[in-house]
Chains A and B, each alone.
Chain A
Amino acid sequence: MTAELRREDGMLSRFRVLANQRNTLFLLITRDLKIKYADSKLGYLWSVLDPLLMAGVYWFVFTQLFNRGVGREPYILFLILGMLPWNWAQGVLTDATRALTADAKLVRSSNLDREVWVVRIVGAKAVEFVFSMPVIAIIAILTGSTPSWYLLAFPLAMAIQATFLLGAALALAPLGVLFTDVTRVMRILLRILFYLSPIIYGARDVKAKTPEWVGFIYDLNPLSGTFDLYRAAFFPRFFVGWTEVVIAAVVSLGFLALGFRIFTRLEGRALKEL
């Protein structure tokens, strides 16, 4: 019933359709988590192990080997507050290119709105991110850090990040079907994005060390204001500022609008290739 009307529908009405399918979405996300944790009781450990290990490595490199001029103490907490949301972003942007192909048979045999397959990835990875938050608490306790009021802004940062990721993933999903090397290109882009986001350093460091115009371009990365907002929960005096957060939110909304357009445009062509 929805199938014929949907192509001409605007973004908002398609959102409404998606909202009606939240049960399905919930099911798919549970299914993803179930599959992930079906075989190993260590499933949870696996999902936090990667960012933890990487944080450990960066901590070693930047506190023991290099003379670090960026970030704040305790650096391990500083790192983990960047690594965990990054893990969410990386997971979504990697999997999004396979959003339609990974479950091609299911996509071909059920007439759900195809956006569901994309939203589901953003959602499942978001749940993993939430599950990984106790790690932040543990490290905060171990390092004797206390949270600031900015901790209340965590959901806001998550909402902005989810908006950006959803937009990017909506564009990537059909592109991943139509072009075979999108996955490979994404891997390169992700490595670049990692160093261009405030993970091993803070957004304030960029402002302090580079000309103003570099800082402005830097703010256009929707992850930069967002990650700094997460971090403000424990490093309030190092927070880059609300202007940057607003820029991140606006750019994220732009990504979402563009992602929806690309998805709607290419959906039909991508379905033929499944």
Chain B
Amino acid sequence: MAPVIQAEGLGIRFQLNRHRRKQIRDILFRHNVPVPKGEFWALRDINLTVGQGEAVGLVGGNGGGKSTLLKLIAGVLIPDEGSVTVNGGVAPLIEVTGGFVGDLTARDNITLTAGLHGLSKQTIAKKFDEIVDFAEVGDFLDTPFRHFSSGMKVRLGFALVTSLDEPIVLVDEVLAVGDRAFREKCYLRMEEMLSGGKTLFLVSHNEADLRRFCTRGVYLRKGLLAADGPIEETLDQYNADLDGAAR
């Protein structure tokens, strides 16, 4: 299997104890510029090789670095250390509703956002109906996006990003929203994508979801890679850690 994603010594740090952002004023008029109290590594020393068609579940507590890792893979954060190499396009299901503009209609939003994700005009025209059907927003195409319910917004976002047909799919907790009927549809769509040979990264706190979709589990603890193996083993270790901490 050719590696699709390869992380080598990957690390990124964030500032700690920064209550507010800096101002030019501070530099100009104060000699003691507030030095950041410290930094912490949100992720460090991550080595990971993922082959085509693998379904990887990211496991770990809050602040473990799961979302940060997805963002580094998606290329929306730049690492401070090491590198991550991604061969192929990425369909990021991260903040799926982020690209939409409240003042524009759903129709305009679909064409614009799909275009931003790199779809050509012809492809958008071809996929337009499919996206609308999947999101079940057919009656609201000319309604400004800000009038959509939050469920509708997420549905449209999910429908759009999953129709991008990129070889790598990153999913960050989007399955938590939406009603049951839509969730079932999402599951089906994800299974279709997996059987179509796509590489999947899934962040979830729902063990059932992780077991259902993923074959491999990566456990991130405080920014470090704590375990990497079959999903069952990784979940067992995560649970053992939690039980150990509780005791």
Contact = CB atoms under 8 A, between A and B. Distances in A.
A259 B52 CA distance: 39
Given A24-B115, A180-B23, A111 B103 contact: no
B83 to A, nearest CB: 5
A158 interface: no
A112 B98 CA distance: 14
Interface stretch (B89-97, B183-191, B193-201): B89-97
A108 interface: yes
A105 interface: yes
A106 B95 CA distance: 9
Interface string B22-35: 11110000000000
Interface residues of B, number: 42
B129 interface: no
Nearest to B97: A105
Interface residues of A, number: 34
A272 B24 contact: no
Contacts of B76: 107-111, 271
Interface in B92-118: 92, 94-99, 101, 103-104, 108, 112, 115-118
Interface string A1-43: 1111001000000000000000110011011001100110000
A109 B95 contact: yes
B77 interface: yes
Contacts of B117: 110
Interface of A: 1-4, 7, 23-24, 27-28, 30-31, 34-35, 38-39, 105-112, 178-182, 185, 267-268, 271-273
26 contacts: A1-B86, A1-B87, A3-B75, A24-B118, A31-B104, A31-B112, A34-B108, A38-B103, A105-B97, A105-B98, A106-B98, A108-B76, A108-B95, A109-B92, A109-B96, A110-B116, A178-B21, A178-B22, A179-B23, A179-B24, A180-B23, A181-B25, A267-B78, A272-B14, A272-B15, A272-B77
